Amino acid sequence: MLPSIRHLQYFVAAASTGQISRAAAVLNVTQSSITIAIKGLEEELGYKLLFRHSKGVFLTSRGEVFLHHAQALLSAAEELMDLPPFDESDIAGAVTVGISYTVSGYFLPRLLTVIKRELPRLKLSLVELPRHDIEEGVRQGTIDLGIILISDVADATGLEMAPLLVSKRQLWIGLDHRFAARETISLQELTDEPYVVVQVDDHEHTMQRNWDKYGFVPNIVFRTQSMEAVRSFVAAGYGISILSDMVHRSWSLNAQRILQKPIEEEISPLITGCIWSSSLQPSPATVRLLEIIRSSSRSGVLANSQDIKR
């Protein structure tokens, strides 16, 4: 039997918020309605979609795959009920989009699927550059639209910005770590833990501000530009890291489990967003592309399981 749209909505809300109670509040329904819907889905599928724990829920490995397809189906349903008042195929032209490393790796493929469907005549040029270069290209007009980590933008002069995804940062540890049974951990408890740092998109610089705020000095044992290397180190028990929900995956390449634990201190979130020039007039194609990107964000197409949508 095929699942109902409502049941898929309930599941996606629970997976996205990490809590049945929060999902119920967002959808304005009872918690029991969501619990019953998810249980029905799991019985129909024959496997678990969510693990339950004292603080909420998190996805199983099969649940992550199911979530991706559920989000795509819901997005398609929303678009079906909200057809544009004009023919999107009439939107033509060329748009250059600058994308930073983290963005290109984690939600660009899903976004491209939507763009290809909505704007088939658009000539899209994608360039992956450091955030600073994208900002400068937008100011000078060589880049029409940037998709970057706007939480790292220090000088927004000449830029308009729109948030797409807000992802909290949490502690990553292996399944056998001594803190595996803990609900939360403070930074000071991590002082002697071997720490693995990923060196992309100003991550270490951003985290240094958080560390300085609380007087925390991490015991850094390895720096890498590979997110998969971080996952493998953490899952194998060779280190810990603090990274955003957007880049989290529950399993390493060796199929070892990676746990997330909330940090007791307030760690700044990772905010992904669009930037465009505040002084240059965007083309109709750029305007429509921006609308599609923001709509995709609101409908959950770009979000991973625990991203908080704005």
Number of domains observed in the structure of the chain = 3
107 lies in some domain: yes
Specify whether 294 is located in the same domain as 148. Answer: yes
- Return the CA Rg of the chain: 20
Give 96's strand partners: 125
Model pLDDT, residue 53: 82
Residues 67-108 have pLDDT tens digits of 988 888 887 787 777 655 555 555 678 999 999 988 887 777
Output the pTM of the full model: 0.67
Residues 3, 44: contact at Cβ < 8 Å? Answer: yes
Same domain, 182 and 155: no
Burial class (CB in 10 A: 0-12, 13-18, 19+), 189: middle
Helix then strand then coil, % of the chain, to nearest 5: 45, 25, 30
Is residue 252 over pLDDT 50?
A: yes
CATH of the domain at 231: 3.40.190.10
DSSP helix/strand/coil, 222: strand
- Which domain range does residue 220 map to? 169-261
- Which pLDDT value is given to residue 160? 95
**pLDDT tens-digit readout, 138-158:** 999 999 999 999 998 889 999
pLDDT score at 273: 92
Task: Dump the DSSP string for 82-143.
Answer: S--SS-GGG--EEEEEEE-HHHHHHTHHHHHHHHHHH-TTEEEEEEE--HHHHHHHHHHTS-
Which of 37, 61, 81 is the endpoint of a domain? 81
Per-residue pLDDT for 302 more than 70? Answer: no
Q: What is the pLDDT of residues 20-30, one digit of tens each?
A: 998 899 889 99
